[in-house]
Amino acid sequence: MATPSQARRKLKPEVDRNVLLKAYDLMSQAARMAATYDEKRDVCGKYVHSTSRGHEAIQLAVGLQLLPIDYLSPYYRDESILLGLGLTPYELMLQLMAKRDDPFSGGRSYYGHPSLRREGFPVIPHQSSATGMQAIPATGMAQAVAYLESQGLREQRQSVVVCSLGDGSVTEGEVAEAFQMAVLKKLPILYLVQDNGWGISATGPEMRTMDAYEYAAGFKGMERMAVDGADFIDSYLGIKKAIDFVRKKRSPMLVHATCPLLGHHTSGVRKEWYRGEDLDQHKQNDPLLRLHHYLLEHGETEETLSAIQEDVYAKIEAAYEQAKNSPDPTVAEFDTHEFAPTPITTEQGERTPPSAEKVIMVDAALHAVDELLQKHPEALFYGQDVGRRLGGVFREAATLAQKYGDERVFNTPIQEAYIVGSTAGMSAVGAKAIVEIQFADYVWPGMNQLVEELSKSCYLSKGKFPVQALIRIPVGAYGGGGPYHSGSIESTLLTVRGIKVVYPSNAADMKGLLKASFYDPNPVVLLEHKGLYWSKVPGTADAKTIEPDADYVLPLGKANIVQHASDDKIREGATAVIITYGMGVYWAREASRDWDGQVEIMDLRTLNPIDWEAIVASVQRHGRAFVLTEEPLLNSFAESLAGRIQRECFRSLDAPVWTLGAANLPAIPLNVDLEKAMLPNVNKVKEALQALLSF
């Protein structure tokens, strides 16, 4: 038997013997875990999972070389990266079996979906199962690292972000958006693309004309490398070179690793269903067997390797039994961590300082962002056309880039998915992003990121990764904006759990709510009605208010009674409440002039969380309720709210809950007369109010 010193001399000097034997141990663990999951399908097959079988070499090459200062965004097959980092088979099996002590999600998310903030480990934020979607948040992490470094706000220098992808996912458009920003901004990120030639049952040639290495050539400034992902030596040395490049050059790199797929796509889509000779060919490239033969050729003995295998077998069996017998989650806690607690719970600062002047709503927003950027160097503001040259199509960012520099206030490409999704990465690193979607009608490419990456992060990570994101979106019709510049989107947004939706109707609320949204540790979408920006639409003069001071914040979830009914009319039972927001506040005010003292108007201000207590109190006070919206009414938030009022306040009602919204059509027409015919207006509100009060 060769002594350790003799064996070491026979090995390649580039990779230390201890690293090779550790890799062999961990590779054996991954292989034995996969076999255990198949052998014990009655237990392990309860929840869908994928394993790293065939990908172990390239994944361990990454996991063994990342540092605690780094960031990782893996995909669902990356269990061997986690083993390389130091996670144990027992910990991984806790997630496999959806157990209480699953260190990532407490039984809430799938196997191979880590969320980790642990001393001595890279940060691993939540990422979804949606293939390729992690590329944008990962690139957002790299952008945050680069920004904070440029401002001297990070103690750790030379952190690297690694984003792991399957080759099939690289055809996703959102991956292209991530690559584009990485080269445009010269970001410190390594994209690892693992190519096993399959996308579930589709082969590479069915899905693409080029592999990821060839594709990356189209992104000028993206360094590329191809490695044999089944060869640990080639993978380890290649990844070492790649990480060193990104760490020193602070530029993006893509590593394309070819490897076999030896396991199932998932436990629910099994290899024997659709793979024949291809599977036999892949088995010949098994990274574990290749490393085994390599070690024998370079001085190790079968006795040494067999001892490792025996230890691994016992370790995995023990981990399985321990995980199987561990407690399940506490069902009573199933609804915790939808949101992280916000620090803004009371109204603070002066809403109407004695020496202040009136300000229009768009300027109140501009001043709020200006004050936030001045106070918080970790804050950035970006989106289409908000940079130095224009300062926003509504001038909502005017002068900000001149004051704070192009690294903090800048234009993005036309990439709504990146604008939204990058905030998840920013938040994980500690940067605070304020972003803008130019018009509500163009938000849809960003919805996937909002739903999959932002909204679920806090809940599925059990509070470890709430996403601090302030997403500003101009909404609403304002006279000839047409079908793609006039939309209202609140009902769609409000079907997404895990986000907050804010809708101010005047300048003071805009400033206070914008700042509260910034300080909220959760994703907040701030809807800003274009027709209220300048108070030019007839009847909206009151949207212009005294500007609150720099300390003013207004907590989310607090409605405001902007018009009270008289006590006498309430006692007579002759009153109603109009529950509305945005432009509806001004339609309601104008329409109610004919019923002096009979109409209370409630401005919701925040749609989620909604001030349900205030709604109930008002409905009980008046016995008649009217929900008014600018959106098409059918299946809308307004209809849903009316239904809830009807159900929960039924005994207090003297009439059905009235509703009014736009006509149920797919778009706002361009012609102003057609627009008026479609939308609510003062006269339509009067007619509905008359019917309600007369009921």
By annotation, the residues acting in catalysis are 485
C-alpha span between 324 and 350 (Å, rounded): 57
- SS3 state of residue 471: strand
CB atoms within 10 A of CB 390: 15
| Residue 224 structure tokens | 């590329």
Exposed/middle/buried for residue 25 (C-beta within 10 Å: 0-12, 13-18, 19+): middle
DSSP H helices, 610-662, are 612-622, 637-648
DSSP letters of 201-229? TEEHHHH-SS-HHHHHTTSTT-EEEEEET
Helix (H) or strand (E) holding 28: helix 17-39
Exposed/middle/buried for residue 234 (C-beta within 10 Å: 0-12, 13-18, 19+): middle
| Residue 314 structure tokens | 């016992």
Helix (H) or strand (E) holding 672: helix 672-678
Backbone φ and ψ for 297, nearest 5 degrees, come out as: -70, -20
| Contact criterion met (CB below 8 Å) for 129 and 50 | no
CA 27 to chain centre: 32
C-alpha span between 525 and 147 (Å, rounded): 23
Q: Give the residues across from 300 on adjacent strands.
A: none
Q: Prior bond to 609 cis, omega within 30?
A: yes
| Contact criterion met (CB below 8 Å) for 226 and 235 | no
Q: Give the residues across from 383 on adjacent strands.
A: 411, 436
C-alpha distance from residue 544 to each of 271, 313, 507, 607, 644 (Å): 64, 72, 6, 22, 33
